[in-house]
Amino acid sequence: MKSRKITTDVLIIGGGTAGCFAGITLGSKKEINVLIVEKANIKRSGCLAAGVNAINAYITKGRVPQDYVDYCKKDADGIVREDLLLSMSERLNHVTKVMEDLGLVILKDENGDYVTRGNRNIKINGENIKPILADGPCGLQ
């Protein structure tokens, strides 16, 4: 087996949903080199490989980030870091906007609002969500 020495500022192991988005976020900072290593084909690897039809973490109209924290806390029987969850929840809708800007199709109603499914879900045409993430502007190697 041939080995190759690569130098990088940040090494992300696993190019799934989280790894790719971390790469997109960090890769947007020009001064940081990011390397994602993925054991499979990054365009169809991980949980989102075949696509999904909803984003299950969105703060819908009339809801606030703390509602999402409360939901997760209940779902995980209280075993959560609430401060971290709140920070994450406050960024959920921004992440969705980034994904839409990258080309993810999010369904909208006649008023131009996202079509919701329940309290924290919005409908998407997500067959290509993983290739969109993998092709994100993060300088994948």
Residue ranges binding ligand FAD (CB under 6 A): 13-19, 37-40, 45-48, 52-57
Distances (CA, A) of 15 to 4, 58, 60, 88, 106: 19, 22, 28, 20, 23
Q: How many Å apart are CA 48 and CA 19, to the nearest integer?
A: 12
Least separation in angstroms between CB 40 and ligand FAD: 4
Taking the least distance from each CB to ligand FAD, the nearer of 18 and 64 is 18
Residue nearest to ligand FAD (CB): 16
Q: How many Å apart are CA 93 and CA 121, to the nearest integer?
A: 11
Least separation in angstroms between CB 51 and ligand FAD: 9
| Contact partners, residue 94, CB within 8 Å, separation at least 6 | none
Taking the least distance from each CB to ligand FAD, the nearer of 30 and 55 is 55
- Residue 76, burial from CB neighbour count under 10 angstroms (0-12, 13-18, 19+): exposed
Taking the least distance from each CB to ligand FAD, the nearer of 19 and 136 is 19
Least separation in angstroms between CB 36 and ligand FAD: 9
Least separation in angstroms between CB 116 and ligand FAD: 13
Taking the least distance from each CB to ligand FAD, the nearer of 27 and 46 is 46
